[in-house]
Structure 1
Amino acid sequence: MTIRLASIEDHAALAGIFLSVRRSTFVWEDPASFQLDDFASATEGELIHVAETAENGIVGFISLWEPEQFVHHLFIANGHRGKGIGRALLDDLARRQPGPFRLKCVAGNSVALSFYKRSGWAQIGEGETDGRPYLLMELSKTDESTLSSPST
C-alpha cells in the first residue's frame, strides 16, 4: 500500500468512495440525501492523502483542515475496512504533521468511536451539530515509537 498526496485526477474515485461509504454506514441519515458532488464542497481547502494499492487503486483517504490540525474525513472504501488502512493513514498523518489532531465523531457511530479509541484518540469534549450529538476526540501522542510500521 502506498500513501500519497491526492491529485485532481483522484477526485472522481474519492467522490465515489465518499458517496458509497456515507450511504452504507451513515444509517442516521437518509441515503438519498448524499450526492456524488458532495465530496468537492466537503473537502474544499483541505489537505487530502490517499491510500492506494496496486490491485485495487485508491482504497481510502484522509482529509485535514490544516489551520486547526482537524481531521475532517477518514474514509475507507466498502470491502476494505478492517485491513489497517485507516490506521496507516492516521500514522502517516502523525509522521507528516506536528499534531495534536482533533476530530468530531457522531456519538452513535460506535464502530468509528471504537476504532479511534483503539488508535489512541481520547474524548476531550462533546457537542451537537444539526441536532446530532458528537464527541470531540484528540490525538496528542505523536511519538514515533507508538506508530505502526511505515506504509509508504
Structure 2
Amino acid sequence: MISIRPSRPTDDERALEIWASAVDATHDFLSPEDRLAIGKEVAGFLPGTPMTVAVDASDRALGFMIVDDGSIEALFVDAACHGQGVGKALIEHAIQALGAHRLEVNEQNARARGFYRRMAFAEIGRKEVDGQGRPYPLILMELRS
C-alpha cells in the first residue's frame, strides 16, 4: 500500500537516493559531466526543500515530488518501484490535493512523457534548453480539462 505524506527532515537522504536511482534509470541522454553537475546541484538544494513523499507500509520513501504554485517542479520514483503505481499516486495527489495542473519534462525522457500523457497531461509547448541553459529541451504539459 502506498501512502502520501509531507516530507520530513529525515527523508532528505532517501530523496537524494531516489533522485539518483530515477535519473540513472531514465536520463541516459545526460552527458556524464552534466549528470555529475546536476547531481551536485540537487544535493545542494533538495535537503530541506518541502516535498510530498510516497511511502510504503513501513514508511520507507519510494518517490517524491515538489509542487509549487500549481506546477509539478519535480517527480522522481525509485527505479526499483517503476511501474508499481508510485508515480500515479503522487500525480493524483498533486492534482486533487495540491491543485497541480502543469509541468515540464525532458523531451528525451519518452517514458515520462508517456506517463504524463496517460495521467491526462497534454503537451502545450517546448523550451530549447533546460532551466540551467543546458541543451536538454523541455516539453511543457498541462492538465486536460
**TM-score normalised over the length of structure 2:** 0.83
What is residue 18 of structure 1 aligned with on the other side?
Answer: 19
| Residue 58 (structure 1) aligned to one of 61, 80, 89 | 61
Residues matched between the structures, number? 137
What is residue 83 of structure 1 aligned with on the other side?
Answer: 84
CA contact (8 A) 1:120 1:139 kept: yes
CA distance in 2, matches of 1:76, 1:134: 19
CA distance in 2, matches of 1:46, 1:55: 23
Report the alpha carbon displacement of residue 23 of structure 1 after superposing the two structures with TM: 2.4
What is residue 150 of structure 1 aligned with on the other side?
Answer: none
Cα distance change of structure 1 residues 56 and 6 upon mapping to structure 2, 3 Å threshold: closer
Q: What is the one-letter code of the residue matched to 2:62?
A: V
Alignment of 1:107-126 (within 5 A): 107-126=107-126
CA distance in 2, matches of 1:60, 1:8: 15
Query: Unaligned stretches of 5+ in structure 1?
Result: 142-152
**SS of 1:132's equivalent?**
coil
* Structure 1 runs of 4+ with >4 Å offset: 43-46
Query: Unaligned stretches of 5+ in structure 2?
Result: none
CA contact (8 A) 2:13 2:47 kept: no
Q: What is the one-letter code of the residue matched to 1:136?
A: L
Identity of aligned residues (%): 26
**TM-score normalised over the length of structure 1:** 0.79
Report the alpha carbon displacement of residue 56 of structure 1 after superposing the two structures with TM: 7.3
User: Which has a greater percent of helix?
Assistant: 2
**CA RMSD after TM alignment:** 2.2
What is residue 106 of structure 1 aligned with on the other side?
Answer: 106
What is residue 136 of structure 1 aligned with on the other side?
Answer: 140
